[in-house]
Chain A
Amino acid sequence: MKKRSIFLISSLAFGFSFLYVPILVMIAFSFNEANLSTTWTGLSLKWYQKLFENEQALKALMLSLRIALISATFATILGTLAGLALARFGHFKSRLFLAGMVSAPLVMPEVITGLAMLLFFISIGGLIGWPSGRGVTTITIAHITFSMAYVAVVVQSRLSSLDQSLEEAAMDLGGRPIRIFFDITLPLTAPAMMAGWLLAFTLSLDDLVISSFVSGPGANTLPMYIFSKVKLGISPDINALATLMIGTVACTIGLAGYLSMRHRASRGSGDG
């Protein structure tokens, strides 16, 4: 600390408690024996047991994971193309249009995106017979569309921060553009693509509003299942589910953060 100010330290303490106390309380009460979240009656794993016997929840989880895997992969491919074009192709004719279309899904309220996609699927379903119904396919397409925008932003900012001399050198030496892309640009972009894929995966796994709009009968994703349950009030097995999900994410991100910090430290540049 350069200057220790009581005001700044207490606002940091307040802010971080505000961010983390609710989560910690939820985690603690997932191990509580009682139904209510007011009283602590004893340590118990019964809500976890109940959760693993809950077939509906497990089915929803599997469906969400499947959608997240597919949509994150396609979003990473399409988002990388968009990010590459915005960062490396200079000024082309449709640049402003593409830039606008990439950033629009980031700021668009979810209810509007969800409504628009649903009405679109119904309209073209009526016109050309595809998609014939709503469900996994429509949810996956919707997720690809909004998460590719996030991937594009991550990839674009990574590529803009790298200088182009390697690619230019390869170009001057007569390399074919496609070879240059696979041999030079792609390896440079790989960390950003990984980060983008993880982001797209998380966004898909977490999306409730857009999925609810474009889903059909039978396709219940995990957030849709959770929402339908917690709308009626708190339920301890959802606390258990939340603990497992948040625990997984925290461990993964914590490990990634720790590794990148060590990597940075070993390179000796402390500024992030």
Chain B
Amino acid sequence: MNALATSKQKTEQAGQSRSIGFFDRHWKRIVIGLALLWLTLFFLLPFLIVLKISFANPIIARPPYTPLIGEDGRLQATLENFSFILSDGLYAYTYLNSLKLAAISTVLCLLVGYPMAYGITRTQGSTRLILLFFVVLPFWTSFLLRVYAWMGLLGNHGLINGFLLRLGLINAPIQMLYTDFAVYVGIVYSYLPFIILPLYASIERLGDTLNEAAADLGAGPFRTFMDITLPMTAPGILAGSLLVFIPAMGEYVIPALLGGPDSLMIGRVLYDEFFFNRDWPVASAVAILLLLILIIPIVWFQYINGKHQEEGA
């Protein structure tokens, strides 16, 4: 009987066996079903609602937008929210400014993170484990508090200005907090661990043999780095960059705490549009457009990630 049940299970025809119960026959479906149900209900459906509201007209009522199907049963979708955003200079500027801030921060993260990741692969044993531990530790500490820590350093009465004033290098405090500079510092600081780990993994996988071969053939360290290390670690560079770029694009906390009134980022504008202007359709359209901008990097990242997992398995 058991042997029969086993063979039936193996051929995925366990449904015919009477020796095992309903749960045994359908447990895989139940496991998949529960996970899918939750994510569909609380993740996919909300996005469809945002999509729907982005095509609605704002009205003064509860809820403050027109239904998709009017009382006469006709579809009343409008592209007005999108054309408003695209024709309004401020929104266009904000999207471009977010792209600029996210792109420059990503490059800065690479410039700081790559040598660090490379340096960690040059260490051994417990030193390496301890260094990696200190890269990972910030993941576990509050993001908000780490951003806040910079307010105490960068402010006009902050530590850096106080230090420079005491040294006599400056006569008046430099405005650093509430500028784009502070936003760059905040993003690089917050996302640096995200970029070091994939970089470390790809440099580590590369190993030493190719570098040694290049050195034996007479290539200098710079040449070896440009011709071998850099191209061979390109997947790690790409994965790490996307891990910084994607969340930085939609960042809210960093520009809200460290940025000035003109360091506009799309996440902050979306937040304000929703909470202060109470314009749900425009806020939804802002979100849909941001998603459209990010869809290429997101799919790209999923592709790299999927490929990496296949290789790892």
Main secondary structure, interface of A, reads helix
Q: Is the CB of A226 within 8 A of B148?
A: yes
Distance in angstroms between the alpha carbons of A5 and B252 in the assembled complex:
39
Binary interface profile of A, 22-52, with partner B (CB < 8 Å = 1, else 0)?
1101100100000011110000000000000
Which residues of chain A are near B312, meaning CB under 8 Å? 160
Given contacts A22-B150, A25-B153, contact A116 B47 (CB under 8 A): yes
Across-interface contacts of B5 in A (CB, < 8 A): 174
A219: chain B residues at CB < 8 Å are none
Contact residues of B: prevailing secondary structure: helix
**Contact present for A116 and B134 (CB under 8 Å):** no
Are A98 and B118 in contact (CB-based, < 8 A)? no
The smallest C-beta distance from A241 to any residue of chain B, in angstroms, reads 8
The yes or no answer to A61 lying at the interface (CB within 8 A) is: no
Residues 79-98 of A at the B interface (beta carbon under 8 Å)? 81-82, 84-85, 89, 92, 94, 97-98
Tally chain B residues at the interface, Cβ within 8 Å: 101
* Chain B 113-138 residues near chain A, CB threshold 8 A: 113, 115-116, 118-120, 122-126, 128-129, 131-135, 137-138
B161: chain A residues at CB < 8 Å are 38
**B140 and A249 within 8 A (CB):** yes
Chain B residues within an 8 Å CB radius of A194:
none
- Do A119 and B144 contact each other (CB < 8 Å), given the known contacts A5-B122, A101-B36? no
Interface residues of chain A, those whose CB is within 8 Å of chain B, are: 1-3, 5, 7-9, 11-12, 14-16, 18-20, 22-23, 25-26, 29, 36-39, 78, 81-82, 84-85, 89, 92, 94, 97-105, 107, 109-113, 115-117, 119-120, 122-123, 126, 141-142, 144-145, 148, 152, 160, 171-172, 174, 176-178, 181, 202, 205-206, 208-209, 213, 223, 226-227, 230-231, 233-234, 238-239, 242, 245-246, 249-250, 253-254, 257, 261, 270, 272
